[in-house]
Structure 1
Amino acid sequence: MGENLYSVNFRYGRRGANLKEGTKTDTAVPLTQAEKVFDKLVAEKVKKGYREVGSDAPSQPDAAPAATREEAILNNIAAGGSPKWPLERAIWRAGELKIAEAGPGLINLIVTGEGLRDYCIAWSLGWCGGESSVEALTRLYRNPASAEFVARIAFEGMRSLADEADRSRLQFEIIELLPPHLRELVTNGNAEAFSAALKIYLDSQDSSRFAVLDRLYQIDSECARSGLLDILKTAPLQPNYFKQIRHIFKMAEYRLDAEVFAIIARRFEDEKAMYRRNHYGVRIPGDDYAYWSNSEWVYNEKTNECKEVETNELLNEMQSPNARIAYSSNTREYLLRRVWRTLKQLGEEGDADYANMAASILLQYVDSDAEEVVRNPHYQWDSSTYTYVVSHAVEWDIFAGYLTFNRILYENSPRYVYFPNTEAWRCREGYKPGDPEPEVREKAFPEIWEQNPDRLLQLVLESNCRSVHHFAVKALKSCPYFLAEIDVSTIVKIIDSPYEITAEFGCNLAVQNQYNRYPEHREVILAIVNCVFPSGRESACSWLEEQRDRILKDSELIATLITSLYEDVREFARRILSNVAMSDGTAKVLIGRIIAHLLAFEATDIYPTQTSILAGEIAETLLWCFPDRLRRLGLGVILDLLKHPIAQIQEFGANILLNHEIPAVDLPPELIESLIASPYEPMSLRSSKAMFDRPCCGIDRPYSTPTRTPQASSSPTL
């Protein structure tokens, strides 16, 4: 740090968990002072039960520190708190650790302090459990003197400890409190009608109506939940809505309701604060001249001095039932910290619910949420050239602004870092967005993910975010026993992923399980031959090549190859079809499948240009491989091709007609009109001219002319 100057940095935590780190010296200090700081810090940690890594101290049972900790909490509760550790904090910690022995002491403390103490007691009793806890929570919930926020958490505690019968009774009680028309719809279970009625009911300036959202979450029936989720995903975090959404967030946190918790957590990331509070007060949103002050200056005539006096203007506004402000920048920052605090606590306890909650949050993000990479160069003066030159640059990657997302995926990453009181994760020095990702485990609490690989598999199957797929695939590779149990249908879904890393992972699973034999594993091979992983497609084609004679009898498989989105697969199909004899029955079914596929094309599929190119290649393959059979194609099918909006498919129909066995003079007028009326001018002119240049008598044609003129059919006929 400098000559004879030192700093004291520390890392501590549970074995196997992420270590907490920091510094005790903001600036470098002399050795004597640094040693004092160091010795004091070590003494504090040892006193709390920590041991130095690699120390010669005799090992103690792992349960000893935990027992000492629980005993300290129980003693603190019995003593009514201490100056260093407030009673409410000890009460809360007893619930976090689920100390059942704390129940009786907590019950004795009910109504011995302010509402906050009762809130903490109700919160903890729901985790500590026990029959006496249910009775105490019931009294708190039904006591008219209990504050609304105390009654709300008491209900959650009762619900968590209740059996199915008691939960049903609680649900019925809350349903009875709903407005009559909403109560009827919830009871009948009409989710669509209920959702519409709920939105109409909330389309009001009456703030008292919004309390219904709390009740709906307390009911939590399928119908009520469906309507509530619609609101949670779209309602603005502004007055009337925000208060209830915050209540529901805390209830979801208590229940470990991953779906609701994740939806609201994502809303906190996305929606900017309604206002920013400073020392002076708050400017009223939407009005540049209105201001609520925290204080005002009062002139004292006797002392001839001005004195700053606190006002209740802002506080009164915030507590008003018709408040015009909500969701400040401070509140948003607090809630974002709380989201990670909840996850982190679960992770540090090794709780499987960490993986469940974190997976639900990751599923909220999709590729379209990514933003542009931001690069902020820093300059310094170069005296040799008399110019400013770039000394270094700070960069932010595409998902940098999503704090919780990055916490979950990159808490231990060597390429990203988060600095407190900043708004985004930045790239570490030496890493640039787009560089190869490291092989190390970057995620928070990797052991929990590996102990719960079903959540990783859920991400692979359901996520629409590339970064999440990279994370989940890398983590799943550390779970060989779980991978060995994945069934065939799930492997097919993995192979069908639009992300190359996931498709490659699925292909490797198929090979490892020897799912590469036709026809036993036809479904898997079909998935691989049409996956986004090029090497996988190449392997699948080689497997099929080995069974050429057998696959030529499989019209569905051949049709899949010919209509593949990938040029290498279509080329493989043309190659195996060249110079082979296919039975008339198989060829007829195959042509029918492919033409039906073409007719289903829309100009908006994939990309318009690519759709046209694909249609043209498929048509070219049919004309090249089945010219004789196409000459006998039903006129109704040809008419459908000529009427198709894609020019290449119209041209395909015209080419079939030009070489058809039926003479031009015997063609139905509707076919000729369709050719002439084609909006695709080159095809219309060329095909019309060629049509009238065709020979009219059977002697000039290799096939005999039918004696009866066939009519165009409305249904495809081969």
Structure 2
Amino acid sequence: MKLIQQCKLFFREGNSDKVYEIDLCKLTNGEYLVNFRYGRRGASLKEGTKTPASVNQQEAEKIFNKLEQEKRTKGYQTEEEINIPLPVLNHLDKNTLEGRILLRLQDAVENTQSFKTTWKTSRVIWKAGELGITKAAPYILKLASKGDDFQLYASIWAFIQLKTVEAIPFLKTAALQIKQKDHVRWLAYEGLFQLMEEGEDLNEIKRKCFTLLPETLQEVIKEGETNATFHFYSLQIEQKLALEGFSAFYLLSLFNPQWNKGIQAIIEQIPFIPPYFKTIRSLYKLAQIRKDYTILALLSYRLEKEDPMYTRRASLDPDGYPTHQYINSIGEYLNIGKELRGKNSRVAFSHNTKYYFQQNSVTHLIQLGTQKDGKDYIKLAINQLLQYTEADYTAKIKQPPQQYGMYSYELRQYLFTSIEYAECSKAYLLSSILFGNDSTRMLTPKLELIHSKTYEVSDKWYYNVNNVRPYNPENKATKKESKEEKGLLSTLKNFFSKKETIVPETISQPESTLTEVSQRTELYPEHWDAYPEAYIQLLMMGKMNLIHQFAFDRLQTHANYDAIKKRFSLEDIIQLLQNPFEIPQKLGYQTLENRKQEFEKLPNYMLLLLNVSHQPTLTWASRTISFNRSFYLENAEALIALLFNNQEFLDTWIIEQLEAIRFNEATTKEIVEQTIQKLILLTDTPAHNILAKKTIQRLKIVAKNQLASLHPKIISYLLEAPLGMNALLASEIIALKAQANENIPISLCVEFIQNPLQEVRYIGLDLLQKASEIDIQTHWNTVLTLLQHDTAMVVQTVLNLGLRPSLASQLQSTWIQIVQTLISKPAFEGSHSFIINQLEAYKAHLQYLEPNYLLQVLFANYRDVQIEASLWLYAYPKTNTFTLRQIIALAESELLAVRQWVWQYYENNIERIKKEKERALSLVDSKWEDTRTFAFQFFRTQFEASDWTTETLISLVDSVRDDVMQFGKELIMRYFTEAQGHQYLIALSQHPSEVIQLYVSNLLKEYATDSPEKLEQLDFYFRSVLFRVHKGRITKERVLDFLIAEALKNEKAAHYVNGLFSYLSATSALQDKARFILALSQIQDCYPQMDSCLILNS
């Protein structure tokens, strides 16, 4: 058994002096035990175990940490902690803030009360850490585990602030405790990372922290896939999943600075809603304690700019009212207090939380500003100002009075208010930094900055400039107003007004280096002047004119301004000139004026000046280079810089320079190679495409002949590159090759035509039209795909090519593609009409259009296409190749012209119609009434008795359409013969129509008399007729008379009729039932031996 970890804890209070030892031991089989010993110090210790059976390592560590935490909660400490002597407070000055803090801590340890007022212990501990009172550390060590979670959190925070190395064992326990709250755990890890020295112990803590990351992320990090790491968290945000382990990931970034940019990118996209906001709060405090001013500034900026999730109006008190509030983003009424106390709260970041963080950010800035060395203040202030962009700027504006006034019961008039908002009124942090000493600014309860409020009163409820008069609030109104709006300077001072602060020593600076600061509006101007390089950083990296103006004004009035300008490197000057804002450019040009000779000696720097956006600089640089072109543009590198220059101001000048220079072949070849390499590496952005277009035009001037001789592989590289504009260079090269009589593949021409760039399409079309007839014929199917192009010019070109004599053998393929294009969705607006207009010459070649493709166009989903196809139909030379099924399908067309063509076809092809009459008869079932009318008339007049068969006529009667059924009945009656009577009787008896059933009743006596077998064949007919209620009375009477007559003539028939009537008598209406009973009695009288359902009374 091997000892892996041991913890010795001691408890000393009064006469009690106890010890508690905990061992984590490893067995030979890889299992673990947790044993303990306890007793009085110096005496024999009793032994015990927390693991009756061995457990795995994870479970053992959990038991070990839990046991240690239990003992610490009861007051046990390590030997180092318990032996830290408490400071002697006998000569303590109780009138100082430090003395009062120490005395309150002593009271908390000894459970005494030296003051009339009571402070929470956690508040005292936090204040001790805030003020840097190192003497408080022993007290805090004894109090850390004896209170609530906030007392523990405040103690850890104080240990980090006071750099209490003796607290490392305590921090380990807090960090490794399994059931520890996350915000406490993360702060404990941060304390360990800051206080522990490099070594195996620190590496072990790193490994413990690393295990808190998701397993997937651990594997990605071990593989070194940094981008995949950030993709993991970006994906979690997209899928609205909690950022598991992101706080631990941020903690470990202290040892992995390459993660910092990725972490910033993730923070920029984290939404301020559950379940992300807990992570935001944790990161904010960690960044504060770590002095990670980049992350802290970013979080502070977002906390200021993000809209709150909701404005809380509900009470958090369970007994308060109201407790519920409707949350728009969720769409429900929620108990806000209960929701916030829940583990998986659905609400976060209320307006109160937003205001708290805004005020906390300003408070933290001021705390840094009160330090002796203002370096931390300047670092945070710079990072904070760099977050703002010109989009955040709001001008000074006076809001006019509301249209409707607010009635004042005190004045008995309507009150109208006008507010004058300050510059950047909603940027509280920016205003605090740049205008913290501006007494004219007042802070509203919503943390907005205003200059003044003016009031007007009127007897009218609506605002009318002629009916209002000024009003100066006095007495209560003035007092109330003074509470609501305070000067920004007094507000900032009031953060410490109730607390005694330690006055920092004045920063010792030579008198000559400091400017007069009494009239300056920014907070802590002495710190800014002590670090003038901060102004330079703001000018170079700032993204707001207001910030540039502040930095430029302060820099110009600085005592060492001239010396500072002399320290600028040439790179610094170029960076200022490249800045898109006017003020940095102005400073850069002022500096350049005194350093021109240095630039003129260095061609590379002169070429860099051609990339700035400052026109005076461009004018001077271009003129200087023109005067000495051979010096500045002597090598390929300089010329490539000109090719890739993106300043529109210099476009004409660059063309002039390139046309004036004569290049040797070696230089030209190098220019071409390096230019193409750079173009291939560019990403596909709008800016890069504009630059590439210019570069390609310039490259043609420099190396037209060399481009024509490039290897075809270069073309494929350009086409495969991500930058879309590279296709233009590829097409230009191919065009040059074509001019040199090289054979260009048709597939490449088509690829160029399909390119989204107009210039590339034009080149592709030109190349296609100049291609050889044999190549076009061989690859015609490839060319035909261009008929579905989204450009009219391309479609027209292809259609014109299709009419070439050399492509006559391809007309069938051409028609097929035309049809596919016309029945497909239009490639551009009016594309179908455009193609139709281009097809006039193709109508002479309709014989190459197959019937099934013509039908596809006739039934297209587009009206103009159908109309055009109907014209083709009348001119179509192969109508005899249509099947009758296809012709009948055309009869269903919505176009009358197409239906008329079908009628005409029937009239002109009577013999075919008669030959295929079974199929041709389908015309009578058309959905169009005009077609059915034509069909009825056609078959009446053109067909004779010999053209009809019994089956054909019966099929007409079986139609579901009434008019078709009547037509069939008409024909049967016209062409009826005695020989067909029996067949008609049996077949038509199955018809459900009353009309047909009535007609069948006429056939009964003639074709069913004296034939009992036929009665059973007609069973469906009899039942259908006799079951009808209040319908078909004539038919029913005829059937009854017929059946009774047959039953009385023949016993076999009587058996059938007896069974049928017996069934019907039990189900029929009263009127028919009497008739059935009478008939049954007649049958029984005639055949007494036959069974009957009737019981006759004598």
Q: For the residues of structure 2 that align with 1:177 and 1:391, how far apart are their CA atoms? A: 56
Is the contact made by 1:401 and 1:424 (CA closer than 8 Å) also made in structure 2? yes
Letter in 1 for 2:98: E
How is 1:292-331 mapped onto 2 (pairs within 5 angstroms)? 292=334, 314-331=336-353
1:285 to 320, 327, 344: 327
Q: For the residues of structure 2 that align with 1:137 and 1:112, how far apart are their CA atoms? A: 15
Which segment is superposed worse, 583-592 or 239-248?
583-592
1:258 to 281, 284, 293: 293
Identity across the alignment (%): 20
Mapped pair 1:117 → 2:151: yes
Q: Say if 1:328 and 1:489 are closer, same or farther in 2 by CA, change over 3 A.
A: same
Is the contact made by 2:384 and 2:430 (CA closer than 8 Å) also made in structure 1? yes
TM-score by length of 1: 0.62
Q: For the residues of structure 1 that align with 2:216 and 2:706, how far apart are their CA atoms? A: 61
Q: For the residues of structure 1 that align with 2:230 and 2:179, how far apart are their CA atoms? A: 34
Q: For the residues of structure 2 that align with 1:681 and 1:239, how far apart are their CA atoms? A: 50
2:587 to 493, 498, 505: 505
Q: Deviations over 1:38-93 (max 9, x none)?
A: xxxxxxxxxxxxxxxxxxxxxxxxxxx99954344434444557445735444323
Q: For the residues of structure 2 that align with 1:653 and 1:210, how far apart are their CA atoms? A: 50
Q: For the residues of structure 1 that align with 2:683 and 2:336, how far apart are their CA atoms? A: 59
Q: Deviations over 1:597-642 (max 9, x none)?
A: 9988999744999998x6899699x5xxx9xx97x6764589999x
Is the contact made by 1:553 and 1:586 (CA closer than 8 Å) also made in structure 2? no
Is the contact made by 1:253 and 1:261 (CA closer than 8 Å) also made in structure 2? yes
TM-score by length of 2: 0.43
**Aligned with 2:399: secondary structure?**
strand
Q: Residue in 1 aligned with 2:362?
A: 340
Letter in 2 for 1:340: V
In our comparison, the structure showing a higher alpha carbon Rg is 2
2:206 to 171, 192, 199: 171
Deviation at 1:452, TM superposition (A): 4.0
Q: For the residues of structure 1 that align with 2:565 and 2:170, how far apart are their CA atoms? A: 47
Q: Residue in 1 aligned with 2:98?
A: 70
Which structure's residues are more often helix, by fraction? 2
Q: Residue in 2 aligned with 1:521?
A: 602
2:577 to 485, 491, 495: 495
Deviation at 1:272, TM superposition (A): 1.8
Mapped pair 1:420 → 2:444: yes
Q: For the residues of structure 1 that align with 2:214 and 2:675, how far apart are their CA atoms? A: 57
How is 1:644-655 mapped onto 2 (pairs within 5 angstroms)? none
How is 1:88-237 mapped onto 2 (pairs within 5 angstroms)? 88-138=122-172, 150=184, 152-165=186-199, 166-197=201-232, 212-220=245-253, 222=256, 231-237=266-272
Letter in 2 for 1:358: A
Q: For the residues of structure 2 that align with 1:175 and 1:219, how far apart are their CA atoms? A: 8
Q: Deviations over 1:278-300 (max 9, x none)?
A: 253341424898545xxxxxxxx
Is the contact made by 2:610 and 2:647 (CA closer than 8 Å) also made in structure 1? no
Is the contact made by 1:365 and 1:464 (CA closer than 8 Å) also made in structure 2? yes
Is the contact made by 2:130 and 2:161 (CA closer than 8 Å) also made in structure 1? yes
Q: Deviations over 1:651-686 (max 9, x none)?
A: x989x98xxxx9x99755759998x999679999xx
Q: Deviations over 1:563-611 (max 9, x none)?
A: 7544654555577789x78575699579969997998899974499999
Is the contact made by 1:456 and 1:472 (CA closer than 8 Å) also made in structure 2? yes
Q: For the residues of structure 2 that align with 1:108 and 1:507, how far apart are their CA atoms? A: 62
Q: For the residues of structure 2 that align with 1:201 and 1:671, how far apart are their CA atoms? A: 48
Q: For the residues of structure 2 that align with 1:127 and 1:500, how far apart are their CA atoms? A: 43
Q: For the residues of structure 2 that align with 1:455 and 1:264, how far apart are their CA atoms? A: 21
Q: For the residues of structure 1 that align with 2:724 and 2:155, how far apart are their CA atoms? A: 69
Q: For the residues of structure 1 that align with 2:243 and 2:740, how far apart are their CA atoms? A: 74
Q: Residue in 2 aligned with 1:531?
A: 612
How is 1:678-697 mapped onto 2 (pairs within 5 angstroms)? none
**Aligned with 1:354: secondary structure?**
helix
Q: Say if 1:185 and 1:146 are closer, same or farther in 2 by CA, change over 3 A.
A: closer
Q: For the residues of structure 2 that align with 1:602 and 1:116, how far apart are their CA atoms? A: 51
Deviation at 1:334, TM superposition (A): 0.7
Letter in 2 for 1:364: Q
Q: For the residues of structure 2 that align with 1:611 and 1:70, how far apart are their CA atoms? A: 67
- Where structure 2 has 5 or more consecutive residues not aligned to the other structure, the ranges are 1-92, 109-113, 315-321, 405-415, 454-518, 771-1098
Q: Deviations over 1:232-286 (max 9, x none)?
A: 3323222222123212221221111223323322331233222222253341424
Q: For the residues of structure 2 that align with 1:240 and 1:162, how far apart are their CA atoms? A: 32
- Where structure 1 has 5 or more consecutive residues not aligned to the other structure, the ranges are 1-64, 293-312, 382-389, 430-439, 692-718
Is the contact made by 2:213 and 2:244 (CA closer than 8 Å) also made in structure 1? no
Q: Say if 1:79 and 1:550 are closer, same or farther in 2 by CA, change over 3 A.
A: same
Q: Residue in 2 aligned with 1:276?
A: 311
Q: For the residues of structure 1 that align with 2:542 and 2:691, how far apart are their CA atoms? A: 26
Q: Residue in 2 aligned with 1:241?
A: 276
Letter in 2 for 1:356: K
Q: For the residues of structure 2 that align with 1:665 and 1:219, how far apart are their CA atoms? A: 62
Deviation at 1:117, TM superposition (A): 3.4
Q: For the residues of structure 2 that align with 1:679 and 1:337, how far apart are their CA atoms? A: 56
How is 1:600-611 mapped onto 2 (pairs within 5 angstroms)? 605-606=686-687
How is 1:470-485 mapped onto 2 (pairs within 5 angstroms)? 470-475=549-554, 478=558, 480=561, 481=563, 483-485=565-567
Q: Residue in 2 aligned with 1:405?
A: 430
Letter in 2 for 1:447: E
How is 1:376-415 mapped onto 2 (pairs within 5 angstroms)? 376-378=399-401, 394=420, 400-412=425-437
Is the contact made by 2:326 and 2:332 (CA closer than 8 Å) also made in structure 1? yes
Q: Say if 1:523 and 1:463 are closer, same or farther in 2 by CA, change over 3 A.
A: farther
**Aligned with 1:283: secondary structure?**
strand
Q: For the residues of structure 2 that align with 1:341 and 1:169, how far apart are their CA atoms? A: 36
Q: For the residues of structure 2 that align with 1:235 and 1:665, how far apart are their CA atoms? A: 57
Q: Say if 1:231 and 1:540 are closer, same or farther in 2 by CA, change over 3 A.
A: closer
Deviation at 1:346, TM superposition (A): 0.9
Deviation at 1:471, TM superposition (A): 4.3
Deviation at 1:330, TM superposition (A): 0.9
Q: For the residues of structure 2 that align with 1:188 and 1:494, how far apart are their CA atoms? A: 40
Is the contact made by 1:492 and 1:523 (CA closer than 8 Å) also made in structure 2? no
Q: Deviations over 1:423-470 (max 9, x none)?
A: 5445789xxxxxxxxxx8654334334444555555455455554444
Is the contact made by 2:140 and 2:155 (CA closer than 8 Å) also made in structure 1? yes
Letter in 2 for 1:106: I
Q: Say if 1:595 and 1:266 are closer, same or farther in 2 by CA, change over 3 A.
A: closer
Is the contact made by 2:309 and 2:329 (CA closer than 8 Å) also made in structure 1? no
Q: For the residues of structure 2 that align with 1:561 and 1:374, how far apart are their CA atoms? A: 46
Is the contact made by 1:216 and 1:225 (CA closer than 8 Å) also made in structure 2? no
Q: Residue in 1 aligned with 2:1026?
A: none
Q: Residue in 2 aligned with 1:355?
A: 378
Q: Say if 1:488 and 1:617 are closer, same or farther in 2 by CA, change over 3 A.
A: same
Mapped pair 1:447 → 2:526: yes
Task: State the structure with bigger RCO (CA 8 A, min sep 6), 1 or 2.
Answer: 1
Q: Deviations over 1:384-429 (max 9, x none)?
A: xxxxxx99874565x5433323433443469x94523235445789
How many pairs are equivalent? Answer: 569
Q: For the residues of structure 1 that align with 2:367 and 2:732, how far apart are their CA atoms? A: 66
